[in-house]
Amino acid sequence: MVEPVAAARPALILDVACGPGAVTRRLARETSARVVGIDLSEPMLRQGAAAIASAGLNERVALVVARGEQLPFPDATFDALTFTYLLRYVEDPAATLAELARVVKPGGPIASLEFAVPARPGWWIAWWLYTRAVLPVAGFAVGGRAWWNVGRFLGPSISAHYRRYPISWTERAWRDAGITEVRTRRMSLGGGLVISGVRSDVE
């Protein structure tokens, strides 16, 4: 996900749904840009702030509590934008994509990372067994009941999202939001999905 953004040599990047800042830090390491990370979760941002300080990136990285659906920035503020595991958690993915595109300058790259459902039958069966059986049990072994619940939630959440919003719909929604050159790349045997594009210079 970071590659098309870094290749554009942006000066200012917005990382949406940044969580504890793993992608935010990667963007700062792979580019010379200033990076703004936003997330709804203050505990996640506190973890991110500690990691950013440990990495010596405080001067170039800022973290802000904000919603991806209602960004507190003017139009065309950022040279590039990334978002991670976001669209499954918003009520209107199409409107959210339009809001993300709004704050990117024309010609700026936009890229996302999301879980996906493998298309090949063999990998789908393995993925289904992993997300429905292995993941909850592993979560319980590591973190008790709370992580059991996380493990039980994740697989059905991913499946439900793609039943409602298949990848073809998502690609079309990117283009409808004013993003061109949309490219889709499946990762991890189909269990991951990277989408990238460029903010159109035509309103």
Average the pLDDT over 111-116 and give the result.
96
Least confident of 32-36, 47-51, 122-126: 122-126
Residue 203 reports pLDDT greater than 70: no
The neighbour count for residue 29, using CB atoms within 10 Å, is 13
Query: Which residue bears the tokens 């009520």?
Result: 91
Alpha-carbon distance 191 to 187, whole Å?
Answer: 6
Q: Which two tokens stand for residue 74?
A: 């003017």
Q: What is the pTM of this model?
A: 0.92
Could you tell me which residue, 152 or 24, shows the higher pLDDT? 24
Domain boundary assignment for the chain: 2-117+166-199, 121-158
Give alpha helix (H) positions in 55-166.
Answer: 93-102, 121-129, 135-143, 145-164
Report helix, strand or coil for 197. strand
Q: Which value, to the nearest 10 degrees, does the dihedral of the CA atoms of residues 49, 54, 60, 61 take?
A: -20
pLDDT averaged over every residue in the chain: 94
DSSP 8-state class, residue 76:
T
**CATH classification number, 2-117+166-199, choose in 3.40.50.300, 3.40.50.2300, 3.30.230.10, 3.40.50.150:** 3.40.50.150
Over residues 65-92, the pLDDT tens digits come to: 999 999 999 999 999 999 999 999 999 9
Residue 168 reports pLDDT greater than 70: yes
Alpha-carbon distance 180 to 187, whole Å?
Answer: 21
Q: Which two tokens stand for residue 155?
A: 């697989």
Could you tell me which residue, 134 or 48, shows the higher pLDDT? 48
Predicted local confidence at residue 37, as pLDDT? 98
CA angle 37, 38, 44 (to 5 degrees): 95
